[in-house]
Every structure is written in structure tokens, then in C-alpha cells.
């Protein structure tokens, strides 16, 4: 009788071990199949994302090609037209004897020069080859120098830890330039300053641009004008910041954005 009990217990033990092994093997196969399914799904998702990326790259390439085409057309057609208009106006000025007529022609020449400058700004904006911090800073300094050279305001510029080849979007580059343009124009019109300083700096992926003058400053009671509101709006649209600093004499405007 004890032998039969032992045999029964042994048999039950074997059966239990078999069941455990079967369950473990079944679980292993299930997990392996599930893991394979997940890997296949991840592979399909990766392929789908890659297709989306390829389409986006093709779209961006098409946009850049269109920008280049528009840029070339503007340079060839509008540029030539403005130059011809300017030459004709200068020719008429030489022949004009009436002072009022000469003054009108001078205004025409001034307008044609402003149109030429605006066109060059648009060409710079459209050129995707300028989508770097270095290109932006170079153009900003060039613009400020050309704007202020006919005024009494002396220009200073500095760049600190800026990686020139850091890429930036065309939209950010243009909005930063329009903010700089507005700030320099305001300094010229309102500040009574003798010097203006452009400071550019970069800390990791944060780019800062500060425009400082030694003028009369902005009174605390002075209402916020359209120019400042537009600069703040442009920076907010780029997830950036625009601040008027009170660190010293004159006016200091700080623009900061993550690139």
C-alpha cells in the first residue's frame, strides 16, 4: 500500500511538473509571439514615420526651390525695373530746370532707393542659404551700419559665444530682423542717443539679441506704442521674449528665443 501511495504521489508530481513546464512553455511562446507582433508594429510605425519624413523633406525642398525661383525673378525683373526707373529719373533731373520739378524728381529717386532696399531685404529673407545665425548677425550689422551712417549715432557691435552655422528658420530670421529694424528706427527717432550697441549671444540653444542706446530712455509714464507691441507680438509668435530693461541709462531692448 505505501508503494502505491508513493507511486501515486510521484505520478501526481510528474503531472504537476509537466503542467508547469507546459504553462511555462506556452507563456514563453505567447510572449515571444507578442514581442514579435510588437516589433512588427514598431517596424511598420517606423516605416510610416519615415515615409512622412520623406514627404516632408520633399515638400520643404519644393518650397525652397520655389523661394529660389521667386528670388531670382524678383532680382531679374523688379531689380532691373527699379534700376531703369532710377536711371530715367536721374536723366530727367539733368534736363529739368524748374526747382519744383527737380524736387519731385529727388523724391522719386528717394522712393526708388527705398524700393531697392526693400527688395534686397525680401531677397535676403527668401534665400534659404541665409538660414543661420551667422548670416542673420552679418546682415543685421550691415543694415544697422547703412541706416546709422548718415546720422550722428555711432554703432557698436559684439557677438559672444555665437555658433555661426547654427540653423534657424526663415520665419524666425525675418521676424528677428523686423524687430531689430523697428528698434533701430525708434532709437534714431526718439532716443537722442550718441551711440547704439548691438549685442548677440548664444547659450546652448538660446539666442539673445540686445539693442542698447545711451539716449534719454523711455519714461515710466510713456504709453506702450505700436512699435513695441509689434515687437512683442512677433517674438511671442516665435515662442520668444521681448523685454525693456531698466539696467542703466538710455534704452535697452532684449530679444530672446530658443532655436
pLDDT at 246: 74
Which residues, at least 6 apart from 153, have a Cβ–Cβ distance to it below 8 Å?
A: 187, 188, 193, 194, 195, 196, 213
**Domain co-membership, 256 together with 137:** yes
**Domain co-membership, 113 together with 201:** no
**Domain co-membership, 19 together with 140:** no
DSSP H helices in the chain? 2-73, 79-95, 99-126, 133-148, 170-186, 226-237
**Domain co-membership, 144 together with 110:** no
How far apart are alpha carbons 234 and 143 in whole angstroms? Answer: 19
Give the end of a domain, one of 128, 149, 168.
Answer: 128
Give the end of a domain, one of 100, 128, 156.
Answer: 128
pLDDT at 91: 72
**Domain co-membership, 10 together with 24:** yes
Give the end of a domain, one of 110, 128, 146.
Answer: 128
- Contact 187/251 with Cβ under 8 angstroms? yes
Distance from first CA to last CA of the chain, Å, rounded?
A: 86
Torsion angles phi and psi, residue 192, rounded to 5: 60, 35
**Domain co-membership, 112 together with 23:** yes
**Domain co-membership, 112 together with 139:** no
pTM listed for this prediction:
0.65
pLDDT at 223: 66
Burial of 180 (0-12, 13-18, 19+ CB in 10 A): buried
**Domain co-membership, 14 together with 137:** no
Domain containing 239 — which CATH number? 3.30.565.10
**Domain co-membership, 156 together with 32:** no
**pLDDT (tens place) for every residue of the chain, 259 residues total:** 566 666 677 677 777 777 778 777 778 777 888 888 888 888 888 888 888 878 777 776 776 666 666 666 655 566 666 667 777 777 777 777 777 777 877 887 777 777 777 777 877 877 878 889 999 999 999 999 999 988 999 999 999 999 999 999 988 999 999 999 999 999 998 888 999 999 999 999 999 999 999 988 877 666 677 888 999 999 999 999 999 887 778 899 999 999 8
Torsion of CA 40, 45, 48, 53, to 10 degrees: -130
**Domain co-membership, 109 together with 171:** no
**Per the structure, how many domains does the chain have?**
2
Which candidate, 136, 145, 230, places its Cα nearest to that of 183? 230
Domain with 252, as residue range(s), is 131-259
**Domain co-membership, 164 together with 115:** no
**Domain co-membership, 183 together with 249:** yes
Amino acid at each position: 500500500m505505501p508503494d502505491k501511495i508513493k507511486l501515486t504521489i510521484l505520478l501526481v508530481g510528474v503531472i504537476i511538473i509537466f503542467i508547469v513546464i507546459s504553462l511555462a512553455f506556452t507563456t514563453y511562446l505567447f510572449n515571444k509571439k507578442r514581442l514579435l507582433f510588437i516589433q512588427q508594429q514598431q517596424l511598420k510605425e517606423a516605416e510610416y514615420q519615415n515615409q512622412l519624413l520623406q514627404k516632408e523633406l520633399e515638400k520643404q525642398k519644393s518650397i525652397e526651390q520655389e523661394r529660389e525661383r521667386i528670388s531670382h525673378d524678383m532680382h531679374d525683373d523688379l531689380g532691373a525695373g527699379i534700376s531703369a526707373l532710377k536711371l530715367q529719373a536721374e536723366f530727367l533731373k539733368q534736363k529739368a530746370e524748374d526747382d519744383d520739378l527737380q524736387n519731385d524728381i529727388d523724391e522719386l529717386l528717394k522712393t526708388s532707393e527705398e524700393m531697392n532696399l526693400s527688395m534686397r531685404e525680401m531677397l535676403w529673407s527668401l534665400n534659404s542659404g541665409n538660414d543661420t545665425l551667422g548670416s542673420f548677425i552679418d546682415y543685421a550689422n550691415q543694415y544697422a551700419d547703412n541706416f546709422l551712417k548718415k546720422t550722428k549715432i555711432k554703432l557698436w557691435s559684439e557677438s559672444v559665444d555665437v555658433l555661426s552655422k547654427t540653423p534657424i528658420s526663415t520665419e524666425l530670421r525675418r521676424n528677428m530682423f523686423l524687430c531689430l529694424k523697428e528698434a533701430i528706427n525708434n532709437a534714431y527717432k526718439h532716443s537722442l542717443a550718441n551711440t547704439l550697441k548691438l549685442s548677440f549671444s548664444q547659450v546652448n540653444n538660446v539666442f539673445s539679441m540686445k539693442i542698447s542706446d545711451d539716449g534719454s530712455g523711455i519714461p515710466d509714464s510713456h504709453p506702450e506704442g505700436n512699435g513695441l507691441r509689434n515687437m512683442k507680438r512677433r517674438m511671442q509668435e516665435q515662442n520668444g521674449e521681448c523685454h525693456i530693461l531698466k539696467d542703466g541709462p538710455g534704452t535697452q531692448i532684449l530679444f530672446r528665443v530658443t532655436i
